[in-house]
Every structure is written in C-alpha cells, then in structure tokens.
Structure 1
Amino acid sequence: MTVSTSIWILIVLIGVLVGLTGGFFGARHYMKNYLKQNPPISEEMLRTMMMQMGQRPSEKKLHQMLNSMKASARNEK
C-alpha cells in the first residue's frame, strides 16, 4: 500500500464517521421538532375534544375512538 492510498482510506473513513454523526443528530433534531409541532393524541386530549363538541364521553367510546385512530394510522403506512 502506498502512502496516497492510505490517506484516501483515512479520508473516506473520516467522511463516513462525520456523515453518520451528522445524520444522527440531524434526524434527532428533526424528530424533536416534529413531535413538538404534532404531538400524539392522548386519551385526555380526546376526552377534552369530545367535551368541547358537546358529547359526554364514556370510557368505552374513548377506547373505541383511540383504537380506530390507531388502526387508521396503521393503514396509512
């Protein structure tokens, strides 16, 4: 192996490490912002929405709506 080949291998390895590290932190930052802007709907949020619409939510109806929302989210993927 010549010196120039060793330098190229070193440069490529450093580039891969920098790319992986940058990609990890970039994806982490993106997901934090996404979850801040679009929080997942919880049972309490659903109960509040139903009460604002003038409905008296029962536990059975809450769980049915949560399960249907989860099922539709799975079907979209």
Structure 2
Amino acid sequence: MELWVVILVGILALLAGVALGFFIARKYMMTYLKKNPPINEQMLKMMMMQMGMKPSQKKINQMLKAMNGQMK
C-alpha cells in the first residue's frame, strides 16, 4: 500500500474519532445536566437568604424558570 494512502486513512480516522468523541461527550453532558440540575429550589433559597434577601416562593419560581429556560 502506498504511503500517502496510509497517511490519508490515518488522518480520516483521527478526524472521525474526534468528531464522534465530541458528540458522545456532548450527549452525555446534556443527559447528566438534565437529570442533575446544577441548582435546585433549596440551593436558590439558601443563596438568596445569604445575600440578605427574604425570598418569596414566587420569586424563587421565577428565577428557577429563568435558569431552566437558559438551559434549553
């Protein structure tokens, strides 16, 4: 087999591996973040209390909805 064919096949295999790895990692992270959101209602409430705010349920729901909207 000629050298340029071997090099071409190697480069194509490398590019295919990088592309496939990227999409698999992206899908895995999207699934992980959907199952385990980075912040929940209790965390948000605690953060607001530490900042000196008295959080109402309406305000917490608004912030959670805004965060979830950014995730999509």
- Structure 2 alignment gaps of length 5 or more: 53-72
Displacement after TM superposition at 1:41 (Å):
1.6
Higher relative contact order (CA 8 A, sep 6+): 2
Given the alignment, which residue of 18, 25, 44 partners 2:16? 18
SS across alignment from 1:39: coil
1:39 aligns with 2:44: no
Displacement after TM superposition at 1:61 (Å):
8.0
User: Whose Rg is larger?
Assistant: 1
* Percent of aligned pairs sharing the same letter: 39
Given the alignment, which residue of 35, 41, 50 partners 1:60? 50
- Structure 1 alignment gaps of length 5 or more: 51-57, 63-77
- List per-residue Cα deviations over 1:46-72 (Å, max 9, x = no partner): 13xx8xxxxxxx71388xxxxxxxxxx
SS across alignment from 1:34: helix
TM-score scaled to structure 1, two decimals? 0.55
SS across alignment from 1:24: helix
Runs of 4+ residues deviating >2 angstroms: none
